[in-house]
Amino acid sequence: MARGTPVADLTRSIYLLWGHHPKPGRSGLTVPAIVEAGTELADAHGLAAVSMRKVAEHLGVGAMSLYGYVPGKEDLTALMTDAAYGELYDDVTAPTEAGNWREAMRFVARRNWELYERHPWLLEVRSPRPDLGPGVVGKYEAELRPLDGIGLSDVEMDSVLALILGHVADSARTHAQHVRENTGMTDVEWWDTVSPVLDQVMRGENLPVSGRVGATVGTEFQAATDPEHNFTFGLEVILDGVQARLD
Protein backbone atom coordinates (compact mmCIF):
# COMPACT_ATOMS: atom_id res chain seq x y z
CA MET A 1 0.00 0.00 0.00
CA ALA A 2 1.76 3.09 -1.26
CA ARG A 3 2.05 6.10 0.97
CA GLY A 4 0.65 9.30 -0.44
CA THR A 5 0.56 12.84 0.85
CA PRO A 6 0.66 13.24 4.63
CA VAL A 7 -2.87 14.61 4.64
CA ALA A 8 -4.25 11.71 2.64
CA ASP A 9 -2.46 9.18 4.84
CA LEU A 10 -3.75 10.81 7.98
CA THR A 11 -7.31 10.90 6.71
CA ARG A 12 -7.10 7.27 5.68
CA SER A 13 -5.73 6.32 9.10
CA ILE A 14 -8.60 7.97 10.91
CA TYR A 15 -11.21 6.39 8.69
CA LEU A 16 -9.52 3.07 9.33
CA LEU A 17 -9.69 3.59 13.08
CA TRP A 18 -13.37 4.37 12.87
CA GLY A 19 -14.22 1.17 11.08
CA HIS A 20 -13.88 2.00 7.41
CA HIS A 21 -12.11 -1.13 6.23
CA PRO A 22 -12.36 -3.29 3.13
CA LYS A 23 -14.61 -6.32 2.99
CA PRO A 24 -12.90 -9.70 3.30
CA GLY A 25 -11.35 -10.97 0.05
CA ARG A 26 -10.92 -14.55 -1.01
CA SER A 27 -8.56 -15.41 1.81
CA GLY A 28 -11.16 -14.32 4.35
CA LEU A 29 -8.84 -11.71 5.86
CA THR A 30 -10.40 -8.85 7.77
CA VAL A 31 -8.96 -5.85 9.61
CA PRO A 32 -10.33 -6.98 12.99
CA ALA A 33 -8.75 -10.40 12.50
CA ILE A 34 -5.40 -8.79 11.75
CA VAL A 35 -5.70 -6.55 14.79
CA GLU A 36 -6.59 -9.49 16.97
CA ALA A 37 -3.65 -11.51 15.70
CA GLY A 38 -1.30 -8.62 16.36
CA THR A 39 -2.69 -8.17 19.84
CA GLU A 40 -2.26 -11.84 20.66
CA LEU A 41 1.35 -11.73 19.57
CA ALA A 42 1.98 -8.53 21.51
CA ASP A 43 0.34 -9.88 24.66
CA ALA A 44 2.43 -13.01 24.47
CA HIS A 45 5.83 -11.71 23.40
CA GLY A 46 5.82 -7.91 23.51
CA LEU A 47 5.41 -5.27 20.87
CA ALA A 48 8.79 -6.03 19.32
CA ALA A 49 7.55 -9.50 18.41
CA VAL A 50 4.76 -8.05 16.28
CA SER A 51 6.24 -8.10 12.81
CA MET A 52 4.19 -8.10 9.66
CA ARG A 53 5.61 -11.51 8.79
CA LYS A 54 4.70 -12.99 12.17
CA VAL A 55 1.19 -11.57 12.10
CA ALA A 56 0.67 -12.91 8.59
CA GLU A 57 2.05 -16.29 9.53
CA HIS A 58 -0.26 -16.37 12.53
CA LEU A 59 -3.14 -15.88 10.12
CA GLY A 60 -1.90 -18.39 7.56
CA VAL A 61 -1.39 -15.74 4.95
CA GLY A 62 1.47 -14.14 3.08
CA ALA A 63 3.15 -11.16 4.65
CA MET A 64 2.27 -8.76 1.88
CA SER A 65 -1.40 -9.65 1.95
CA LEU A 66 -1.79 -7.59 5.10
CA TYR A 67 -0.99 -4.44 3.18
CA GLY A 68 -4.28 -4.72 1.38
CA TYR A 69 -6.07 -4.13 4.65
CA VAL A 70 -3.67 -2.05 6.67
CA PRO A 71 -1.37 0.67 5.26
CA GLY A 72 1.58 -0.36 7.39
CA LYS A 73 2.80 -1.28 10.80
CA GLU A 74 2.15 2.12 12.31
CA ASP A 75 -1.54 1.95 11.52
CA LEU A 76 -1.74 -1.62 12.73
CA THR A 77 -0.31 -0.52 16.06
CA ALA A 78 -2.78 2.35 16.22
CA LEU A 79 -5.65 -0.04 15.60
CA MET A 80 -4.39 -2.42 18.27
CA THR A 81 -4.00 0.46 20.71
CA ASP A 82 -7.45 1.87 20.16
CA ALA A 83 -9.04 -1.57 20.39
CA ALA A 84 -7.26 -2.26 23.67
CA TYR A 85 -8.34 1.02 25.26
CA GLY A 86 -11.82 0.43 23.91
CA GLU A 87 -12.25 -2.70 25.98
CA LEU A 88 -11.66 -0.80 29.21
CA TYR A 89 -15.23 0.04 30.20
CA ASP A 90 -18.42 -1.81 29.39
CA ASP A 91 -20.30 1.46 29.55
CA VAL A 92 -19.35 5.12 29.40
CA THR A 93 -20.99 5.59 32.81
CA ALA A 94 -18.94 2.89 34.55
CA PRO A 95 -16.46 5.20 36.32
CA THR A 96 -19.20 7.62 37.37
CA GLU A 97 -21.14 4.81 39.00
CA ALA A 98 -18.16 3.86 41.15
CA GLY A 99 -19.06 6.55 43.68
CA ASN A 100 -17.82 10.07 44.37
CA TRP A 101 -15.01 11.56 42.32
CA ARG A 102 -12.28 10.06 44.50
CA GLU A 103 -13.68 6.58 44.28
CA ALA A 104 -14.29 7.06 40.58
CA MET A 105 -10.67 8.05 40.01
CA ARG A 106 -9.48 5.07 42.04
CA PHE A 107 -11.67 2.92 39.83
CA VAL A 108 -10.25 4.51 36.69
CA ALA A 109 -6.69 4.13 37.89
CA ARG A 110 -7.20 0.52 38.90
CA ARG A 111 -8.84 -0.33 35.58
CA ASN A 112 -5.98 1.23 33.64
CA TRP A 113 -3.48 -0.57 35.83
CA GLU A 114 -5.16 -3.86 35.07
CA LEU A 115 -5.31 -3.03 31.39
CA TYR A 116 -1.56 -2.50 31.36
CA GLU A 117 -1.16 -5.81 33.12
CA ARG A 118 -3.19 -7.51 30.41
CA HIS A 119 -1.52 -5.61 27.57
CA PRO A 120 1.93 -4.50 28.72
CA TRP A 121 2.86 -3.63 25.16
CA LEU A 122 0.56 -0.59 25.42
CA LEU A 123 3.33 0.98 27.47
CA GLU A 124 5.77 0.53 24.62
CA VAL A 125 3.58 2.18 22.02
CA ARG A 126 5.16 5.38 20.82
CA SER A 127 2.77 7.27 18.63
CA PRO A 128 3.67 10.72 17.31
CA ARG A 129 0.09 11.92 17.88
CA PRO A 130 -2.76 10.54 19.96
CA ASP A 131 -4.57 7.74 18.13
CA LEU A 132 -8.04 9.25 18.20
CA GLY A 133 -10.14 6.18 17.55
CA PRO A 134 -13.51 5.26 19.02
CA GLY A 135 -11.92 3.37 21.89
CA VAL A 136 -9.71 6.23 23.01
CA VAL A 137 -12.44 8.82 22.61
CA GLY A 138 -14.94 6.75 24.57
CA LYS A 139 -12.40 6.19 27.30
CA TYR A 140 -11.73 9.91 27.59
CA GLU A 141 -15.44 10.65 27.93
CA ALA A 142 -15.94 7.94 30.54
CA GLU A 143 -13.00 9.07 32.62
CA LEU A 144 -13.78 12.75 32.42
CA ARG A 145 -17.39 12.49 33.55
CA PRO A 146 -16.76 11.87 37.26
CA LEU A 147 -14.67 15.04 37.37
CA ASP A 148 -17.46 17.17 35.93
CA GLY A 149 -19.18 19.57 38.30
CA ILE A 150 -16.98 19.04 41.34
CA GLY A 151 -15.43 22.48 41.16
CA LEU A 152 -12.67 22.09 38.60
CA SER A 153 -12.38 24.16 35.45
CA ASP A 154 -12.43 22.35 32.13
CA VAL A 155 -8.70 22.72 31.75
CA GLU A 156 -8.17 21.48 35.29
CA MET A 157 -10.34 18.43 34.61
CA ASP A 158 -8.16 17.53 31.66
CA SER A 159 -4.95 18.15 33.59
CA VAL A 160 -6.04 16.11 36.59
CA LEU A 161 -7.01 13.19 34.42
CA ALA A 162 -3.73 13.39 32.52
CA LEU A 163 -1.86 13.48 35.82
CA ILE A 164 -3.59 10.37 37.13
CA LEU A 165 -3.31 8.42 33.90
CA GLY A 166 0.32 9.41 33.56
CA HIS A 167 0.99 8.16 37.05
CA VAL A 168 -0.69 4.84 36.31
CA ALA A 169 1.29 4.43 33.10
CA ASP A 170 4.54 5.27 34.82
CA SER A 171 3.94 2.85 37.70
CA ALA A 172 2.79 0.16 35.32
CA ARG A 173 5.87 0.67 33.20
CA THR A 174 8.13 0.12 36.16
CA HIS A 175 6.00 -2.82 37.20
CA ALA A 176 6.15 -4.41 33.76
CA GLN A 177 9.91 -4.12 33.56
CA HIS A 178 10.05 -5.47 37.06
CA VAL A 179 7.94 -8.51 36.40
CA ARG A 180 9.62 -9.60 33.20
CA GLU A 181 11.54 -12.50 34.69
CA ASN A 182 11.59 -14.30 31.37
CA THR A 183 14.29 -11.97 30.10
CA GLY A 184 16.99 -13.31 32.31
CA MET A 185 16.69 -13.64 36.05
CA THR A 186 14.25 -13.02 38.85
CA ASP A 187 14.36 -9.93 40.99
CA VAL A 188 16.07 -11.70 43.84
CA GLU A 189 18.68 -13.33 41.63
CA TRP A 190 19.36 -9.96 40.05
CA TRP A 191 19.81 -8.21 43.33
CA ASP A 192 21.97 -11.02 44.72
CA THR A 193 24.25 -10.63 41.74
CA VAL A 194 24.31 -6.85 41.63
CA SER A 195 24.55 -6.12 45.31
CA PRO A 196 28.05 -7.43 46.12
CA VAL A 197 29.52 -5.95 42.99
CA LEU A 198 27.96 -2.60 43.79
CA ASP A 199 29.24 -2.75 47.34
CA GLN A 200 32.73 -3.25 46.06
CA VAL A 201 32.60 -0.68 43.31
CA MET A 202 30.85 2.01 45.36
CA ARG A 203 33.35 1.85 48.18
CA GLY A 204 34.35 5.39 48.99
CA GLU A 205 31.18 7.01 47.67
CA ASN A 206 29.46 9.31 50.11
CA LEU A 207 25.79 8.32 50.09
CA PRO A 208 24.36 8.80 53.57
CA VAL A 209 20.71 9.33 52.66
CA SER A 210 20.27 7.11 49.61
CA GLY A 211 22.26 4.37 51.31
CA ARG A 212 19.88 4.35 54.26
CA VAL A 213 16.72 4.74 52.19
CA GLY A 214 17.80 2.17 49.65
CA ALA A 215 18.48 -0.32 52.41
CA THR A 216 15.11 0.33 54.06
CA VAL A 217 13.22 0.02 50.80
CA GLY A 218 15.12 -3.13 49.92
CA THR A 219 14.34 -4.73 53.24
CA GLU A 220 10.71 -3.64 53.14
CA PHE A 221 9.96 -4.93 49.64
CA GLN A 222 12.70 -7.52 49.08
CA ALA A 223 13.53 -5.59 45.92
CA ALA A 224 14.94 -2.28 44.74
CA THR A 225 11.42 -0.91 44.45
CA ASP A 226 7.77 -1.95 44.68
CA PRO A 227 5.83 -0.46 41.78
CA GLU A 228 2.45 -1.53 43.11
CA HIS A 229 3.08 0.25 46.39
CA ASN A 230 4.27 3.31 44.52
CA PHE A 231 1.13 3.14 42.42
CA THR A 232 -1.35 3.21 45.28
CA PHE A 233 0.70 5.60 47.38
CA GLY A 234 1.19 8.05 44.54
CA LEU A 235 -2.45 7.88 43.61
CA GLU A 236 -3.54 8.85 47.12
CA VAL A 237 -1.04 11.70 47.19
CA ILE A 238 -2.44 12.99 43.92
CA LEU A 239 -6.02 12.68 45.11
CA ASP A 240 -5.11 14.57 48.29
CA GLY A 241 -3.54 17.26 46.15
CA VAL A 242 -6.65 17.57 44.04
CA GLN A 243 -8.79 17.73 47.20
CA ALA A 244 -6.59 20.54 48.47
CA ARG A 245 -7.27 22.41 45.26
CA LEU A 246 -11.01 21.96 45.66
CA ASP A 247 -11.00 23.52 49.13
Rg (CA), the chain: 22
Angle between helix axes 134-144 and 154-179 (nearest 10 degrees) is: 120
Give the residue with the Cβ less far from a copy of itself, 62 or 241. Answer: 241
Give the residue with the Cβ less far from DNA, 62 or 99. Answer: 62
Residue among 155, 175, 222, 228 that touches a copy of itself (CB under 8 A) = 155
Give the residue with the Cβ less far from a copy of itself, 29 or 78. Answer: 78
Selection from a copy of itself, DNA, none that 73 binds (CB < 5 to 8 A by kind) is: DNA
Report d(CA 79, CA 131) in Å as an integer: 8
Contacts of 225 (CB under 8 A, 6+ apart): 174, 178, 217
How near is the Cβ of 239 to a copy of itself at its closest, in Å?
7
Selection from DNA, a copy of itself, none that 199 binds (CB < 5 to 8 A by kind) is: none
* Of the candidates 166, 148, 170, the residue with the CA atom closest to the CA atom of residue 157: 148
Give the residue with the Cβ less far from DNA, 49 or 217. Answer: 49
Selection from DNA, a copy of itself, none that 64 binds (CB < 5 to 8 A by kind) is: DNA
3-class SS at 152? coil
149 torsion bin: left (phi>0), alpha (psi -120 to 50), beta (else): left
Selection from DNA, a copy of itself, none that 18 binds (CB < 5 to 8 A by kind) is: a copy of itself
Q: Which of 30-38, 57-65, 79-87, 128-136 is the region at the interface with a copy of itself (rule: CB under 8 A)?
A: 128-136
